[in-house]
Structure 1
């Protein structure tokens, strides 16, 4: 098992990604650009957590977590757009948004811890 697989934030990011992929597979109304962007951003959260956890330099590790957090913000923006376009229901929006918010709060704590060293 790799170290990143032991991280709660990674496991939550993986679950978030799976839920987004499932939503995208079942949605017929999302345009290809939004679908692709959401797919890439949600995967980026996981991948940057994984890659960042392998880095020895704290400033470099912090940078990967910052990128991962930015991808969570990107997902939130896509959800906001899809809600405005009535592609996401209010309930779906709230569920996805809450999970993105949890991820970026967890990542913020990780970034803060690396910044304080």
Structure 2
């Protein structure tokens, strides 16, 4: 349907993944297979599902993959809150990341409504 690389929402999702990977570098080693892994997998899922959905043949299929991306974004938001409560990231970092998550959520909702 679309060249996903041209989608602003995909580009922002890639930027979010970069941000999340940067934030999780400072997490304790004990979280390597826990919160670090969960956050990294969820953030990769966002851009991956946008890309996969854009390659589908129908708009309902694309909407489905956008819904999966939204679910991953809500997962990331929840995990960021836990990360902050555990003092793995600062108030400033969690606010910055959640703001970016919220912006991408809005973009996906907007894209879905246009399909």
| C-alpha contact 1:29 1:87 (8 A) present in aligned 2 | no
CA distance in 2, matches of 1:50, 1:39: 17
Task: State the SS of the aligned residue for 1:26.
Answer: coil
Count of aligned pairs: 113
Task: Name the TM-score, length of structure 2 as normaliser.
Answer: 0.91
How much has 1:25 moved relative to structure 2?
2.2
Deviation at 1:31, TM superposition (A): 1.5
Residues 1-117 of structure 1 correspond to what in structure 2 (within 5 A)? 3-28=3-28, 31-32=31-32, 33-114=34-115
Deviation beyond 6 Å, 4+ runs, structure 1: none
TM-score under structure 1 length normalisation: 0.90
CA deviation digits over 1:56-111, x for unaligned, max 9? 21111100000011111110000011111121111001000000000111011112
